[in-house]
Structure 1
């Protein structure tokens, strides 16, 4: 029995270590977190509409591997809820069947009900056409004079084929799924479909993905709020005791208000009415002690001869 127990110990140890422990295998678990959507500058938009649609307000994008999605938002001047948005999804056929063929009618109806709730949309039997091929669209009235548009398109290639074999490798096999939801307060149904007719996709190659990853990582430049330092405001409380001013400050202010004293004035007499007036002019002079000079005696008066009164013209 003793030898049987010793022989069974390795088997028991092996059975214990064979139990699945997720805490010991966390390094092999693949992260399934969704990619983060970032906002980029409108210049990185993968598509654009004609100028009658207005300007691009924002571009939100998600990039992962060989797939990216952009929501290109235009201004909405109507009172209806929702965004006027051009959605572009670009990827390879390896990403799924969405990049192999156009959407089905059933899928379009579900998308349209979610994008335009409460609007009576009608699918046009005649397909439209633009630079990238044919597209389908539906229109519906909005208010008294406005309308809404929902359009969809599948572009099999997002860039023209290069002439060389190396160029074709760099182009990649990218397809695009495009959706447009747009409402206008005064554009009729006959005219709003022209927005999808003027839609243009920018060429998408493998280099485009690198550019979009850089744009999403760098972020859009926005004006940051400037911090302004507020100066303290004095609040006067009538019930509080008056603040006492230091005596030294009072003395300095009093000295600043005292008139200047003129020392060692020099009297300069001018000629009198008889021909020699004596007029005293006071001139300020720096004390000799302050200037560091030796005091010297000076004459206290100087006679300046002037012309006789009778020789002057009358009135002078």
Structure 2
């Protein structure tokens, strides 16, 4: 009897639980498309522009693939991939992303998948941007497109991790192919991108200890000069030479040659003729012309000094 009673009670409890169930649908943790404003990393100002952002939430962080504008005949899409690892416990039950050390074989597989059909050569030059050292490989496609694949790991040093902090890590991958850009132009994107995401809590800080200011600031005897936004420890001359003024010259016009027998042509008066004090009035009889005496060999005649004024009417001057 007791056994039957317990079975009946268990059945009633199961029936009650089934009646109170909401029947909600749970969506599995899958990558989702988000807006560009929620991207954890941004390309530099001026491009390439963001096409879309796909985010995958993990149990120990977040992965984002930021697709960039592509102008190339090489198969595939330009992208900036960023992966935040270390924030364990924030998304339980969604699975954790495994950590893989940066290796030559792993990078070779990544490049073959991201830039198919293009032979990339790894640069042996040590380079670093605002977030630390990075590496890259570049090459040309058969059609002449320039391709670049860069990788970077942002992680604090081991000495900083011994203080029970700075355990976070950021993995960055950048794939760029362009039909008109050079290798140096594509490399400028690696120096110009910005990481805008961060971890909650100092324990996951991937950047390590905060660096102090430049010791030369405020110290006497250490001048700081402007040099394209940076500082340089070298003398700089004070003052500058002004640029020479440029004089614009119009077309040169040659004057007509004047021969000894050619008199200069004077401009004619414009408008009505106004009589002067020495000119006869209307209706008056004009005096006889005064005989001029040639004094020069150029053909220009000038009056004699004795024939000026009232003496011009004398018989000697009329000859």
The two structures have a TM-score, normalised by structure 2, of 0.46
Higher helix proportion (structure 1 or 2): 1
Query: What TM-score, normalized by structure 1, do the two folds share?
Result: 0.47
Higher relative contact order (Cα pairs below 8 Å, separated by 6+ residues): 1
